[in-house]
Structure 1
């Protein structure tokens, strides 16, 4: 496929627990030739991925089509003129959530998110924290009011998951659904109590 015909999705990974969500998202998008991924990973995200998954920055960056430094505020994805389908922050720390909620675009992750909102593109935040304090809740409300989607990675137990992979895949599949991206059977879809839909 001609690179100019590819659809672009920005994927950011911050320092919250749950680096596997961003990594699995990149893995799924990598096998879809019509999609081009633009990765931004914070230094804290690198540390968390190392601790949780035993992988290095280079391992994660190898999954993306294009990699941008979190410090490069002049990168292509910092401008609304650079067309994308939107952005996913997986996982999204409460610090990053607060920056987006208050328009503090002081690094490329929060700037690219700000661009997604101002251009009315889809912004999905896999917010990872518990329990939530009032500041967290108010920031989630603010982002939602601006058009963002707060999508905490909450397990769906009706699918009867038997592994961590099942839980991660279901969440990643639901995120891909939000962008109408076809994926390879990550989601066990609800068919109703009788096993069929009308």
Structure 2
């Protein structure tokens, strides 16, 4: 199996709930175990941007998302914002990779300063301190100098910053195509197979001189 078998997926209150939901679906289809975290702001954004309304309690949320994605029993694990006994809160139990998508600029700031005021921030802090893979997908426009400084700091600490900026060279026809572009880039970084977007040059036809 390429890529990590266990992944922490966090969704925070920036626009772009579709990215997080699509990534969750792809991870489940690739038989990954997903430790799912979501902020209250992200739940509000999700209800605004999509037709998905998550239950508030982690156990009910876990059952809902398992049915929504067709996950196997135990494949998705949901935790509350102060569940300090969850695996993601400790380097001895956390998955090898974490993705925050979408990543609000508030969460970006908290991770950059090591705030650890909730489980999402703590899980990211653990990922950094253990030198594991942390992918942050901010969605904001324009960026202030504070946002850019936080991104630079996190990049220097080993995090990968993937702005939610879809490309157009694959000639997207639908909003789903634009969402898939960003999700495919995340999956490529995780080294998890995906067939939504060919890697650059895969379909290039060489011309003999």
Structure 1 length normalisation: TM-score? 0.90
Would the aligned equivalents of 1:80 and 1:115 in 2 still touch at CA under 8 Å?
yes
1:188 Cα deviation (Å)? Answer: 2.8
Q: Once superposed, which parts of structure 1, at least 4 consecutive aligned residues long, lie more than 2 Å away?
A: 58-64, 192-197
3-state DSSP of counterpart to 2:173: coil
Would the aligned equivalents of 1:49 and 1:55 in 2 still touch at CA under 8 Å?
yes
Residue 38 of structure 2 is aligned with which of 33, 37, 41? 41
Distance in 2, Cα, partners of 1:19 & 1:70: 18
Partner of 1:186: 196
Q: May I ask how many residue pairs the two structures share in their alignment?
A: 191
Say whether 1:142 aligns with 2:153.
yes
Partner of 1:3: none
1:136 Cα deviation (Å)? Answer: 0.3
Structure 2 alignment gaps of length 5 or more = 56-60, 70-74
Would the aligned equivalents of 1:61 and 1:67 in 2 still touch at CA under 8 Å?
no
Would the aligned equivalents of 1:39 and 1:61 in 2 still touch at CA under 8 Å?
no
Structure 2 length normalisation: TM-score? 0.85
Q: Kindly indicate whether structure 1 or structure 2 has the higher relative contact order, using CA contacts under 8 Å at least 6 residues apart.
A: 2
Partner of 2:8: 10
Structure 1 alignment gaps of length 5 or more = 1-5
Cα pair distance change 1:182/1:192, threshold 3 Å: closer
Map Cα deviations across residues 106-152 of structure 1 (whole Å, 9 max, x no partner): 10001000000000100000011110111000000111111101100
